[in-house]
Amino acid sequence: MKITSLAPCIAAVLAACASVPPAGTATQRAHVETCTPVSEAEVAALFDRWNRSLQTGDAHRVVANYAGRSILLPTVSDKPRLTAAEKEDYFEHFLEDGPSGKIDLRTVEIGCNSAVDAGLYTFTFAKTGSRVSGRYTFTYRWNGTDWLITSHHSSAMPGK
């Protein structure tokens, strides 16, 4: 067999290889995950949704805002809350004084099917009239149906 007769075969194989993107390229990732658009105002509304669920006094309704795989690092507990039951336990106690949150300062970062809302908030407690200021970070992930909290960190302001 002459080398010149292999040239068309080699060219065909090389052309086929060139048309397949390497594993892990943006082309393959884009095919797997479609980014759901979200605006800063829509991310801000997710806090409002969570805050309205606090107003119900129902810990189960509050926890419905969290993804199944999520973490709550609350202000008034040293224990990280990983399961829905652990989060409900926390909120049952937190809700006793009728908390209502207000954002004082916010910054929002948006990614592909994810968003971060971080800043400062103040809670007013209807039962006692007390106010507590804190720092917060909520991370959200689109699950194909809804935006859910994947992590929530809250801490009291230093020196307060």
pLDDT tens figures, 25-37: 555 555 577 999 9
One domain, residues 21 and 45: no
One domain, residues 84 and 20: no
Residue pLDDT, tens place only, 101-134: 999 999 999 999 999 999 999 999 999 999 999 9
Among 158, 154, 157, which residue's Cα sits nearest to residue 78? 154
One domain, residues 17 and 76: no
pLDDT of residue 31: 54
One domain, residues 90 and 20: no
pLDDT of residue 158: 86
Q: Do the beta carbons of residue 76 and residue 157 sit within 8 Å?
A: no
pLDDT of residue 29: 55
Domain, as residue range, for 12: 3-32
Question: Where do runs of H (alpha helix) occur along the chain?
Answer: 3-18, 26-32, 40-55, 59-63, 84-94
As for how many domains the chain has, the answer is: 2
Residue pLDDT, tens place only, 36-56: 999 999 999 999 999 999 999
Residue pLDDT, tens place only, 94-110: 999 999 999 999 999 99
One domain, residues 68 and 147: yes
pTM score: 0.79
Determine the number of helices (DSSP H) and then strands (DSSP E) in the chain.
5, 5
